[in-house]
Amino acid sequence: MIRLRPACPDDVEALAELGKATFTSAFGTLYSSNDLASFLAQTHSEARIASNIADAQTVYRLAEDEASGALVGYCKISTRIGVDYDPGKASAIELSQLYLDDSQFGTGLAGQFMDWVIASARERDCEEIILSVYADNFRAQAFYHRYGFEHIADTTFMVGDHCDAEFLYRLTLRD
């Protein structure tokens, strides 16, 4: 059984490890060892994650295997928009990470996370959910399309000194 729960300061080390492992599994072969190491040290450092957990505008949702206690996935949302997008007068939330252990693909866990993201955005009276997705990550793009996200712009994402083509997606929340 998988249990979903909020993150707490005790989760920092496990979140850092899971973030590094899942990013490396999905994308590690695309980058030089220096670019990958630089990105992982910056984005998935314990200090960065601890700061995010302490930030009231950033919220993590964790998936934990109840039998082992191991984290098997997480997502992170924030009202601090970190992608190249200005929502103007609209209130927006960014889905900046949705990472799953390889064992969780096809289990429905990603859908549970997305349902939580959308419900959280609505609870915060957000009008939009914004995210960026790697241009060659067709599986993720299909997943976001199923939830009604639309491609609104092209953007970039830096991994060390390597610049990736990304797509900016938006879900407009309507009642």
Task: Summarize pLDDT for 151-163 with one digit per residue, the tens.
Answer: 999 999 999 999 9
CB atoms within 10 A of CB 39: 21
Alpha helices, DSSP H, located in 44-90: 46-54
pTM above 0.85, yes or no: yes
- What is the pLDDT at residue 26? 92
Residue 107 has pLDDT above 80, yes or no: yes
Mean pLDDT confidence for 124-128: 95
- Pair 78, 59: CB distance under 8 Å: yes
Q: How does 48-73 read in b/e, with b if 16+ C-beta sit within 10 Å?
A: bbbebbeeeebbbbbbbbeeeeebbb
Provide mean pLDDT across the span 111-134: 96
Give the mean pLDDT of 40-68: 96
Sign of the CA dihedral with 20 first, then 148, 7, and 70 last: negative
Joined tokens for residue 49? 């994650």
Domains and CATH numbers, the chain: 2-172 (3.40.630.30)
